[in-house]
Amino acid sequence: MPYPLGLYHDVYRMGEWHWLTSGIGLLLVLLALGRLLVRPALWPLGVVLTVTPWVVYLQIIPFTTWSMASERFLFVSVGGLALVFVDVISQIGQPRWIVLLLLLLTVPMGVITWMRMGDWESGRSLHAKEYERQPHFHNAIRDQVIYTLLPNHQFADAESLAKSVPRDYGAAALVAAVDAERALAEWKESRETKLTDFASGQAYCQKVASLRQTVATGYARIAREKDISYNNFLRSIERQAKFRFANSTRTCAYRAAATH
């Protein structure tokens, strides 16, 4: 199934097609169940398996579709479509036509999927493409800041872009991450130039502490947040900080002890 690949998807929003698709899905299930009551067959079971994931995706059962987790819904649908297809080709009975039909179905899908494999070769290029695809989505902004702008020390651009995150607590957390990264770069620069700049080290410790506090404040807001994808937004910033500033706990504790 050559569905569009992506790192993340925006949170599902209801529209007119929501009710149309829900109605069609319900009608298909009723027809399949009616067919099973008349005479057992394979294709009605396939229809039920195909439509079942729609219950989750269409938010009939509450769920968030902000990430690749939403693509896992297709696994059950593909299995259901396979059952329908098996039932159809079993009615043909001629191997030559069955093979031809299989080739007409699988070869184009295989070619499309093979051509898209290049999109996953580089994590940075994939993040860049995702940002081009949806530049106003907060997770795309986060990755553009963390994986593209900050490694290139484009701190001013990173801070400006971070402030465009729709939620104020999300923007504050991303700006705090930029500030901590800037402070780390300045501290490293002072150490490389053999300057005993105690103030730059202190500033680094303060920015890291501020980042952790800002993320914690954001988590407190998640309980009242309708868009649960912001939990992933904060969690990824926290995880990045954990690895990026892993030495801060010991370093800043030593500096605090030296100050006192």
| Residue 86 scores a pLDDT above 70 | yes
Residue 174: its pLDDT value, please?
96
| Average per-residue pLDDT for the chain | 82
Compare 3 and 237 and report the one with higher pLDDT. 237
pLDDT at residue 68 above 50? no
Q: Dihedral sign, CA of 184, 186, 189, 191? A: negative
pLDDT band at 144 (very low <50, low <70, confident <90, very high): very high
C-alpha distance from residue 182 to each of 13, 118, 151, 171 (Å): 37, 33, 10, 16
**Position 21: which residue type?**
T
Tell me what the mean pLDDT of segment 136-149 comes to: 91
pLDDT band per the 50, 70, 90 thresholds, residue 224:
confident
Assign 182 a pLDDT band (cuts: 50, 70, 90).
very high
Q: For residue 12, give every residue at least 6 positions away whose Cβ sits within 8 Å of its Cβ, in sequence order, or none.
A: 57, 58, 59, 64, 65
Domain ranges across the chain: 16-120, 123-259
Give yes or no for residue 61 having a pLDDT over 70. no
pLDDT of 255 over the 70 cut: no
The pLDDT confidence band at residue 92, using thresholds 50, 70 and 90, is: confident
pTM exceeding 0.75: no
Locus of tokens 């009939």 = 60
DSSP letter at 5? P
pLDDT(154) > 50: yes
- % the chain with pLDDT above 90: 29
How many Cα atoms within 13 Å fall on the side-chain side of residue 57? 23
Nearest-Å Rg of the Cα atoms of the chain is 26
Q: Say if residues 210 and 180 touch (Cβ distance below 8 Å).
A: yes
Cα dist from 24 to 18, 21, 47, 231, whole Å: 10, 5, 12, 33
CB 41 within 8 A of CB 60: no
Indicate whether 195 pLDDT > 90: no
> Of the given ranges (51-60, 205-214, 222-231), which has the lowest mean pLDDT?
51-60
